[in-house]
């Protein structure tokens, strides 16, 4: 279930964990995760500790948690131990993985490049062998994107499949608990504990290609998908080409996501933001200020559009379809990218990640591609509730030689 570590577990050469003494919690039971070492993103509660959500001013406004977050508790009761809290982008409101206060965790699979966010420390710790698995959250791609950039397996589950109790909210109709692993069997093993059973049996028979999403990938990446698509066709059926973002276009759906997310952020944190006037890094401060400008009319229009997109995706997938798309448009950007480049990067990524977010569907990122020597994930979206079936399919596909 685990692999050889790249670094000793009590060191942090990557800057993945919060500064200071490491938060450690022993197992609370014996079970299928015995011996598994878990890192936890700093927007999950650990009993007796302050949850900082990546921002010192937010941490200063909180009391120590009275209990572990439900997802953490499930892992501990199954035999896992917590080996530390990992750095997150502030309030989990970024896809870049550069924390203004704590720095940018290193990407051991793509040195000199970002890990992606907001679950940056979790992805870094797993990729560097500092733990076996790490919890993150995924609202707009915060597990899928770091998994892609760090060469990891990562799952965003069906919305509301895993309780969010004890997790700092960002945008509640999009927030999910996700996790990372280096091996597909470890990812699946954790899913058995966190997810429970699927509500019914799912059997995937059809492969759908999000043609418009594939076109968003850089040319060097697009060609890498061909042998993997062929391998999936051998397992399923000849691919059906879809353009799920049409007629509005992918950018429209990313913008729609941003507006709905922004309104929900104001509902969750607006009072504290206005009264405490906390300090944020420039990228996140800029967007938090923007959320205060959004209107009821914008939210209503985007909610109506979201419902239409969800209906289209649900109908296309049916009970037996898998939708393929890139996890991100390119390999991880460089650490020294300027702020305009960071803004552009986020918009390009959200154009891809918004589909599963809008529709509340499970999406897995598989580390099966490389571009310019760096990881890039292949994503599969499944019908709502088919999380365990998706994990099993992904493990079977990735454990074999996909292109054989």
Catalogue the active-site residues: 41, 118, 142
316: its two tokens = 């296309």
Region class of 373: left (phi > 0), else alpha (psi between -120 and 50), else beta: left
Short-list 306, 333, 289, 285, CA closest to 112: 333
Instruction: Name the β-bridge partners of 207.
Output: 322
Query: How many residues are there in the chain?
Result: 404
Cβ distance 98 to 276 under 8 Å?
Answer: no
Alpha helices in 280-338 (DSSP H): 282-291, 296-317
CA atoms within 13 A on the CB side of 195: 27
> How many angstroms separate the CA atoms of 278 and 159, rounded?
30
Q: Which helix H or strand E contains 347, and what residues bound it?
A: helix 339-359
Q: How far is CA 319 from CA 210, 313, 381, 390, in A?
A: 17, 11, 12, 12
Long-range contacts of 5-11 (CB under 8 A, 24+ apart): 5/129, 5/130, 6/108, 6/128, 6/129, 6/130, 7/128, 7/129, 7/130, 9/37, 9/83, 9/130, 9/131, 11/130
53: its two tokens = 């959500």
Phi, psi at 389, each rounded to 5°: -65, -40
Question: Which DSSP state fits 29?
Answer: S
Helices 184-195 and 387-399 meet at what angle, rounded to 10?
170
CA dihedral for 231, 235, 241, 246, sign (positive or negative): negative
């Amino acid at each position: 279930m685990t692999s050889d570590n790249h670094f000793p577990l009590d060191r942090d050469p990557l800057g993945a964990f919060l500064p200071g003494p490491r938060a450690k919690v022993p197992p609370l039971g014996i079970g299928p995760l015995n011996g598994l070492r878990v890192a936890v993103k700093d927007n999950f509660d650990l009993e007796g500790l302050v949850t900082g959500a990546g921002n010192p001013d937010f941490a200063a406004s909180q009391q120590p948690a009275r209990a572990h977050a439900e997802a953490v508790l499930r892992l501990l009761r199954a035999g896992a131990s917590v080996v530390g809290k990992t750095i997150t982008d502030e309030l989990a409101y970024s896809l870049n993985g550069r924390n203004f206060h704590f720095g940018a965790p290193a990407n051991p699979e793509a040195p000199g490049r970002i890990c992606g966010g907001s679950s940056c420390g979790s992805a870094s710790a797993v990729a560097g062998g500092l733990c076996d698995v790490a919890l993150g959250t995924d609202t707009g791609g915060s597990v899928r994107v770091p998994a892609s950039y760090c060469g990891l397996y990562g799952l965003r589950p069906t919305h509301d499949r895993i309780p969010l109790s004890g997790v700092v909210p960002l945008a509640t109709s999009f927030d999910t608990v996700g996790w990372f692993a280096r091996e597909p069997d470890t990812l699946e093993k954790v899913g058995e504990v966190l997810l429970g059973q699927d509500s019914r049996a799912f059997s995937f028979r059809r492969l759908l290609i999000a043609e418009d999403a594939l076109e968003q990938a850089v040319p060097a990446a697009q060609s890498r998908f061909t042998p993997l698509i062929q391998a999936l066709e051998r397992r399923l059926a000849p691919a059906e080409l879809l353009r799920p973002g049409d007629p509005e276009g992918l950018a429209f759906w990313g913008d729609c996501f941003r507006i709905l997310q922004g309104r929900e952020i104001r509902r969750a944190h607006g009072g504290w933001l206005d009264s405490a006037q906390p300090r944020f890094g420039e990228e996140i401060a800029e967007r938090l200020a923007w959320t205060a400008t959004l209107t009821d009319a914008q939210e209503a229009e985007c909610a109506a559009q979201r419902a239409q997109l969800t209906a289209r995706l649900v109908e296309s997938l049916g009970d037996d379809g898998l939708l393929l798309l890139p996890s991100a448009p390119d390999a991880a950007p460089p650490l020294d990218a300027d702020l305009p480049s960071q803004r552009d990067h986020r918009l390009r990524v959200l154009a891809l990640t918004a589909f599963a977010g809008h529709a509340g569907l499970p999406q897995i990122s598989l580390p099966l591609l490389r571009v310019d020597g760096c990881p890039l994930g292949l994503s599969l979206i499944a019908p709502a509730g088919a999380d365990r079936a998706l994990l099993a399919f992904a493990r079977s596909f990735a454990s074999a030689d996909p292109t054989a």
